[in-house]
Structure 1
Amino acid sequence: MRVRLSGLFCAMAVMASASAAGAETPRTVVHAGHLLDVDSGKMLADQAVTIEQGRVVSVNPWSASAASGATVLDWTGFTVVPGLMDMHTHIADETETADAGAPLKSSPARDAFIGAKNARDTLRAGFTTVRDVGVYRGFADVALRDAINEGYVPGPRMFVAGAYITVPGGGGEITGLAPGTVVPEEFRRGVSKGVDDVRKHVDFILDHGADLIKVIATGAVLADGTEPGQSEYTEEEIHAAVTEAAKRGKFVAAHAHGAEGIKRAVRAGVRSIEHGSLIDDEGIALMVKHGTWLVADIYNGDYIDTVGRAEGWSAEKIRKNVETTQTQRDGFRKAVKAGVHIAFGTDAGVYPHGDNARQFAYMVKYGMTPLQAIRAATIDAARLLGKEKELGSIAPSKSADMVAVACDPLKDVECLRQVRGVMKAGAAVSLD
């Protein structure tokens, strides 16, 4: 049975296949006009991707026999790439506003609806997997991840941090509030001071379902009263988080803008440096030596400078953004040239979810080839997660996560913003 599809293939085709009579496992075949093999770096023409039970069974040149007995999804007019992966999002929080106290004025129920919308927008943009690296209301991301996994709401596959490990008043706290404002405990689940306190809260966060730990190693651009270049944890405290998480087989991601904070975190054994805005040559060399990943949100600064100014974000936030944006991009270029492991991460949540792919052009502008940028958001992101055997490329035994785009992203990486179809684990995603 061959189903002709224009643009987005419909979910009914997959459902029809799943309900087909007979003992054989239902099969779907995606007929790709072009398919990017990110493992080899080759663009393959006229390919048949066979899918069973949500996983890729085979990838072969198209033939009529390949489609025998299967539901065929016609993507011959598109380039098919692996499902995209964003390793730095904040889906379960409301998008950044000028009101520092906005998180306290919301409710758990409202936050759940906001998270569901953000998840849907992210998935429709072609991002089938994300790391959600921290929420203000503790464990809201855990609840959203579980709701997606249980099929209650559409969204990407989520790996979540649960809450921030942050010093009191630090970069992971809600700051800039009116004097006397009391912040409820549910917004301070990971506030920690000292080695023992860090260990205790790492265990607490993991006990409540987190997939990774997020340590705020330095001040933040968007937390008034903190400075990006200022270290907020000692190397010993960060190492305590790393070793405690490792007992449970979990990694630590370190929010680190400042050069010294980056080096402390790398020496302490974190899996990734988030932002890396003020990284120096010594920090880059350390990251290469230790195999530490860099997840740098190099589009974000432009959004803050335009929208933040227009909406009246605090002068302190605008000043810190100006001081870090170009420095971060220059450091990113150096890191690419030095061979630092780089994974795609945008800090979506500062700007609207669904616009994640805007960053690809910036990564190319600051030193990557289009293929390198795409790999950062596919197979390399999977390696950061330790999930490269399951995710990150269109290959046998891996989850059938795919995106159809309107043109060739190796020639114009902005093509990744022209999404025409999305599949997650073999299931079609409605773009309507």
Structure 2
Amino acid sequence: MRTLFAALALLLLMSQPVSGETLYIQAAKLIDGASDQAREQVTVVVRRQQIEDIRDGYHGDPEQDRVVRLHEHTLMPGLMDAHTHLSMEMSPDAYIRQFTEDPADMAFRMTSFAEKTLKAGFTTVRELGDSHGLSTSLRDAIRAGHVAGPRILAAGKSLATTGGHADPTSGWSQALEGDPGPREGVINGRAEAAAGVRHRYKEGADLVKITATGGVLSLADSGENPQFSEEELEALVTTAKDYGFHVAAHAHGGEGMKRAIRAGVRSIEHGTYMDRRIIRLMRRHDTWYVPTISAGRFVADMAEKPDYFPPQVREKAAEIGPLIQETFARAWEGGVKIAFGTDSGVSPHGDNAREFIYMVEAGMPEMAAIQSATRETARMMGIDDQLGTVEAGKLADLVAVVGNPLEDISRMLEVRFVMKEGDIVRHD
């Protein structure tokens, strides 16, 4: 009978938002994102959408107050993934689906990917490239409460050059490819570079994503060649700053990275062929690095399957994929600022936390890996005034995992509690 009453109480707790009431969250450990040390036996007090207080010891009377008991768990800030693609998930038929599916089909599939991401503990993501305005529409639907999902900072359509990594018609027949321009995310020259940014502003994006070099999954021969001139990059970044945008730069090859860093992009994504000179350049320009080891590991594994990728993609995946974890190790050792990012959509949605395991394997301490997905990513996104640490006055985005991830980082895969802006969205 006691078990039945406990289950009913839990269902009642989850069926109502916390807003307007005080909730006491008791946790065996707290990683607050600000300190390098975990705190023992802590109560986080949440009222409405905010963290009201953090107290030592367990507070709140279960008979009178709303209490969440996480006495075998570690509580931490809501996790952040700075590189996702909720509009897709890689599969052998991914290349043909663009001709067989409508945008509405993609949109409905996105809702399940968004919910998986949120329930995996990731309450905020940067959505780095889609089509048909899907990510901005999903962002708005989540904000309005129509769909369950993480808070989204959306880049909209990535910007590429003709035939570049994010040219939406690369690999198509001449009868179909046409001549896409800035509206479709394809630019050539300074004027079109500015126009591409302005179209992203017009469609409601939060930031700009560019493909500064070739990529692995595009139907093109090179995965690393530079694809923007320095003049185009200067125009892109200057215009982006005018509109209050950060610029995230997909880049594998060294020359494309150097051009993008000198132009003033906010972050380098992937960074496969980063060397010591580029590491020094990133430190000089205060450029962030978003590693996406998960995507590298995934495409390398899939390249071993003969029919998973088209031949030219398979060759690039086998070459580039295995290198990203080694690059991450050099970047961490070299003192580059690192924000957490997976490229989920290439790797499966909901498995975002596997990135922690790969980061620790490459030499990053467990605490630093967790901070990279909380405090550091919040700083990179420019939202650290509201999120990224467990502090009074900040939004109540909270996640709890079983056990102690500082002793076993794989515990980050065992999420049992998720709160976003004061509402409980998962409590196992």
**Common fold by TM > 0.5:** yes
Aligned to 1:397: 393
Aligned to 1:202: 197
Question: Alpha-carbon deviation of 1:65?
Answer: 5.7
Question: Alpha-carbon deviation of 1:139?
Answer: 1.4
What are the Cα deviations for residues 52-84 of structure 1, in whole angstroms up to 9, with x where unaligned? 121111111134468896311111121112111
TM-score of the two chains, using structure 2 as the length reference: 0.93
Q: Which residue, out of 161, 170, 189, partners 1:167?
A: 161
Q: Which residue, out of 342, 345, 351, partners 1:349?
A: 345
User: What's the secondary structure of 2:12's corresponding residue?
Assistant: helix
Aligned to 1:109: 104
Aligned to 1:149: 143
Given residue 297 of structure 1, which amino acid in structure 2 is its aligned partner?
T
Question: Alpha-carbon deviation of 1:101?
Answer: 3.3
Aligned to 2:12: 12
CA distance in 1, matches of 2:372, 2:149: 21
Q: Please give the residue correspondences for 1:43-192 in structure 2 after superposition, counting only pairs within 5 Å.
A: 43-64=38-59, 70-135=65-130, 137-174=131-168, 175-178=170-173, 180-182=175-177, 189-192=184-187
What are the Cα deviations for residues 217-238 of structure 1, in whole angstroms up to 9, with x where unaligned? 1111110214122000012211
CA distance in 2, matches of 1:99, 1:367: 34
Aligned residues of 2:29 and 2:42 also touching (Cα < 8 A): yes
Q: Which residue, out of 371, 375, 382, partners 1:375?
A: 371
User: What's the secondary structure of 1:164's corresponding residue?
Assistant: coil
TM-score of the two chains, using structure 1 as the length reference: 0.92
User: What's the secondary structure of 1:263's corresponding residue?
Assistant: helix
User: What's the secondary structure of 2:13's corresponding residue?
Assistant: helix
Aligned to 1:301: 296
- Unpaired segments ≥5 residues, structure 1: 20-24
What are the Cα deviations for residues 227-268 of structure 1, in whole angstroms up to 9, with x where unaligned? 122000012211211111111211000111110100100000
User: What's the secondary structure of 2:76's corresponding residue?
Assistant: strand
Aligned to 1:232: 227
Aligned residues of 2:54 and 2:391 also touching (Cα < 8 A): yes
Aligned to 2:380: 384
Aligned residues of 2:182 and 2:195 also touching (Cα < 8 A): no
Does the C-alpha gap of structure 1 residues 408 and 7 become closer, same or farther in structure 2, counting only changes over 3 Å? farther
CA distance in 2, matches of 1:177, 1:5: 60
Question: Alpha-carbon deviation of 1:189?
Answer: 1.7
Q: Which residue, out of 264, 279, 282, partners 2:277?
A: 282
Q: Which residue, out of 336, 343, 346, partners 1:340?
A: 336
Aligned residues of 1:48 and 1:63 also touching (Cα < 8 A): yes
Give the fraction of aligned pairs with identical amino acids, expressed as a percent: 37
Given residue 30 of structure 2, which amino acid in structure 1 is its aligned partner?
L
Given residue 139 of structure 2, which amino acid in structure 1 is its aligned partner?
R
Does the C-alpha gap of structure 1 residues 176 and 182 become closer, same or farther in structure 2, counting only changes over 3 Å? closer
Aligned to 2:255: 260
CA distance in 2, matches of 1:11, 1:373: 33
Aligned residues of 1:9 and 1:74 also touching (Cα < 8 A): no
Aligned residues of 1:14 and 1:28 also touching (Cα < 8 A): no
Kindly indicate whether residue 327 of structure 2 is the aligned counterpart of residue 331 of structure 1. yes
Question: Alpha-carbon deviation of 1:39?
Answer: 0.6
CA distance in 2, matches of 1:352, 1:8: 34
- Unpaired segments ≥5 residues, structure 2: none
User: What's the secondary structure of 1:13's corresponding residue?
Assistant: helix
CA distance in 2, matches of 1:18, 1:401: 12
What are the Cα deviations for residues 393-422 of structure 1, in whole angstroms up to 9, with x where unaligned? 111111111111111111111110011111
Question: Alpha-carbon deviation of 1:184?
Answer: 9.7
Aligned to 1:26: 21
CA distance in 1, matches of 2:34, 2:203: 35
Does the C-alpha gap of structure 1 residues 38 and 341 become closer, same or farther in structure 2, counting only changes over 3 Å? same
Aligned residues of 2:167 and 2:185 also touching (Cα < 8 A): no
User: What's the secondary structure of 1:177's corresponding residue?
Assistant: coil
Does the C-alpha gap of structure 1 residues 49 and 356 become closer, same or farther in structure 2, counting only changes over 3 Å? same
User: What's the secondary structure of 1:85's corresponding residue?
Assistant: strand
User: What's the secondary structure of 1:172's corresponding residue?
Assistant: coil
Given residue 235 of structure 2, which amino acid in structure 1 is its aligned partner?
A
CA distance in 2, matches of 1:8, 1:419: 21
CA RMSD of aligned residues (A): 2.5
Aligned to 1:247: 242
Aligned residues of 1:382 and 1:392 also touching (Cα < 8 A): yes
CA distance in 1, matches of 2:297, 2:128: 21
User: What's the secondary structure of 1:236's corresponding residue?
Assistant: helix
User: What's the secondary structure of 2:39's corresponding residue?
Assistant: strand
Stretch deviating more after TM superposition (212-221 or 32-41)? 32-41
Aligned residues of 2:43 and 2:57 also touching (Cα < 8 A): yes
Aligned length: 424
